[in-house]
A and B are shown apart, each in its own frame.
Chain A
Amino acid sequence: MTRNPPLAASTTPVAFDVVRSTVASRAALGVAVALAVLAATLPFWGESSWMREFVEIACYLIFAIMWNLLAGYGGMVSIGQQAFFGFGGYVMLMLGNFAGVNPFIAIPLGALAAAAIAVPVSFVAFRLSGGYFAIGTWVIAEVFRLSFANVSAVGGGSGTTLTALRGIERATRESVTYWMALACVVAAIALVYLFLRSKRGLALLAIRDNEVAAESQGIPVVRMKLAVYVVAAFGAGLAGALYFVGNLRISPDAAFSVNWTAFAIFMVVIGGIGRIEGPLVGALIFWALNKFLSDYGTWYLLGLGLLAIVVTIFFKQGLWGYAQQRWGWSLFPTQRVLADGERVPGR
Chain B
Amino acid sequence: MIEIFLQGILLGGLYTLFALGQSLMFGVMRLTNTAQGDFIILGAFAVVAGTALAGGAPFAVALAVLPLAFGFGYALQRYVLNGTLGKDPLPSLVVTFGLSIVIQNLLLELFSADPRSIETGGLNTQGLALGESLSLGVLPLVILAIAVAATAGLQWLFARTALGRSFRAVSDDREIAELMGLDAKKVYAFATAIAFVLIAVAGALQGMRTTVSPSDGPLLLLFAFEAVIIGGMGSFWGTLAGAMILGITQQIGFRLDPGWGIWVGHIVFLIVLVLRPQGLFPKTRG
Contact = CB atoms under 8 A, between A and B. Distances in A.
Contact of B30 (A123, A131, A312): A131
Give the size category of B's interface with A.
Answer: 35 or more
Contact of B94 (A147, A149, A308): A308
A136 B90 CA distance: 15
Contact of A302 (B26, B102, B263): B102
Interface stretch (B51-59, B175-183, B264-272): B264-272
A309 B99 CA distance: 8
A128 B274 CA distance: 10
Contacts of A135: 32, 34, 221-222, 225
A347 B188 CA distance: 49
Given A150-B259, A262-B101, A305-B102, A313 B109 contact: no
Contacts of A140: 270
A202 interface: no
A223 B108 CA distance: 44
A127 B97 contact: no
A313 B83 contact: yes
Interface of A is mostly: helix
Given A127-B274, A302-B109, A312 B222 contact: no
Contact of A139 (B84, B92, B225): B225
A146 interface: yes
A71 interface: yes
Contacts of A174: none
A262 B226 contact: no
A71 B225 contact: no
Contacts of B93: 77, 79, 131, 134
A311 to B, nearest CB: 9
Contact of B89 (A134, A147, A313): A134
Contacts of A273: 90
A142 B260 CA distance: 12
Contacts of B222: 135, 138-139, 142
B64 interface: no
Interface residues of A, number: 40
Contacts of B92: 131
A101 to B, nearest CB: 29
Nearest to B274: A124
B80 interface: yes
A136 B273 contact: yes
Contacts of B221: 135
Given A143-B263, A146-B260, A302-B106, A309 B95 contact: yes
B36 to A, nearest CB: 9
Which of A79, A123, A312 has the largest count of B CB atoms less than 10 A from its CB? A312
Nearest to B225: A135
Nearest to B88: A75
Nearest to B257: A150
Contact of A77 (B90, B263, B267): B90
A316 B30 contact: no
Contact of A130 (B30, B104, B277): B30
B229 interface: yes
B259 A149 contact: yes
Interface string B73-86: 00000001001100
Contacts of A124: 270, 273-274
Contacts of A258: 218
B99 A139 contact: no
Contacts of A36: none
A262 B91 CA distance: 14
Interface in A289-314: 298-299, 301-302, 304-306, 308-309, 312-313
Contacts of A302: 101-102, 105-106, 109
A132 B229 contact: yes
Given A131-B31, A142-B266, A308-B98, A301 B90 contact: no
B105 A299 contact: yes
Interface string B98-127: 111110111011000000000000000000
B9 interface: no
A269 interface: yes
B84 A313 contact: yes
- Leading 4 A-B pairs by shortest Cβ distance: A131-B32, A305-B101, A309-B98, A305-B102
16 contacts: A77-B89, A79-B93, A127-B274, A127-B277, A128-B273, A130-B89, A134-B32, A135-B32, A135-B225, A136-B225, A138-B218, A140-B270, A143-B267, A308-B98, A308-B101, A309-B102
Interface of B: 26, 30-32, 34, 80, 83-84, 89-95, 97-102, 104-106, 108-109, 218, 221-222, 225-226, 229, 259-260, 262-263, 266-267, 269-270, 273-274, 277
Interface of A: 71, 77, 79, 123-124, 127-128, 130-132, 134-136, 138-140, 142-143, 146-147, 149-150, 258, 262, 265-266, 269, 273, 298-299, 301-302, 304-306, 308-309, 312-313, 316
